[in-house]
Structure 1
Amino acid sequence: MISYSDQAPITAKQAIDLYERSTLGERRPINNVTTFELMLKNANLIVTAWDDDKLIGISRSLTDFAYVAYLADLAVDEQYQRTGIGKQLIEETKARLGPECMIVLLAAPKANAYYEHLGFEHNPRAWTLKK
């Protein structure tokens, strides 16, 4: 049975393992445990999906809970993809936000088509500034 939580503690090692199993590891600093620890520590809304004690999904957001939530990471173990877990992680995230709070994200190239069928609208005005 799959369970969802916003209180379950997770380690950087667990998160890195999940990101590798989800292909999101291709675009995240999985070789830097310290960075991952800070990513988890400083995100203010993390919802996780578990199959018993195995971490199989994560929604990691930065938000003010009122106007906007930046969904920084949505990762689901490849063996569990196409079973509704990603969609449920987004629903669990939305349930913890204010009623007028929008979710903004930058889609990974392989997941670009995924978000439209969940009701997300494409916005071509996203910009990034790398250090």
Structure 2
Amino acid sequence: MESINKISYKVNESIKAEELSKIFKTSGIKRPSDDLNRLQRMIKNSNVLITAWNNNQLIGVARAITDYCYCCYLSDLAVNKNYQNRGVGKELVRLLKEHIGDEVALLLLSSPTAMEYYPKIGFEKIENGFKISRKK
């Protein structure tokens, strides 16, 4: 287990595709981690990027797309496995909610393995959703 000196959180701090790739790989989240060009576009086209750092090491990320007045889609919530179960993900979501404001609904799609996690940090399960899947 990693030692925590001091976790700090940053809003819209610039990160590199390589850093996002490493977070995805170390968190267990399924993303196109080896496609650095695609990851760079994911970073560039996000409205909000909340990051968690242990000293200079990126240990967590919440990446979102929002209109800042009605809805926000939390695209990624990823925390390095060595830092999970320490409140990092919960704090990333809290900071995201603070950043987008009270009039904005926060939405996400969960992986099957995280279905029990999200209610623990304040999300309400909903049944009325639809999707058209990506082709790659």
Q: 1:73 aligns with which of 73, 76, 84?
A: 76
CA contact (8 A) 2:12 2:48 kept: no
Q: 2:117 aligns with which of 110, 114, 118?
A: 114
Pairing 1:35-114 to 2, within 5 Å after superposition: 35-114=38-117
Equivalent residue letter for 2:7: I
Q: Distance in 2 between matches of 1:13 and 1:46?
A: 15
Where in structure 2 are there 5+ consecutive unaligned residues? Answer: 1-5
- TM normalised by structure 2 equals 0.91
Deviations 1:36-56 (A, max 9, x none): 000000000000000000000
Q: Report what 2:24 is aligned to.
A: 19
- TM normalised by structure 1 equals 0.94
Where in structure 1 are there 5+ consecutive unaligned residues? Answer: none
Q: Which runs of 4+ in 1 moved over 6 A?
A: none
Q: Report what 2:3 is aligned to.
A: none
Q: What is the total number of aligned residue pairs between the two structures?
A: 129
Please report the RMSD computed on the Cα atoms of aligned residues, expressed in angstroms.
1.0
Q: Distance in 2 between matches of 1:11 and 1:74?
A: 17
Identity of aligned residues (%): 36
Equivalent residue letter for 1:64: D
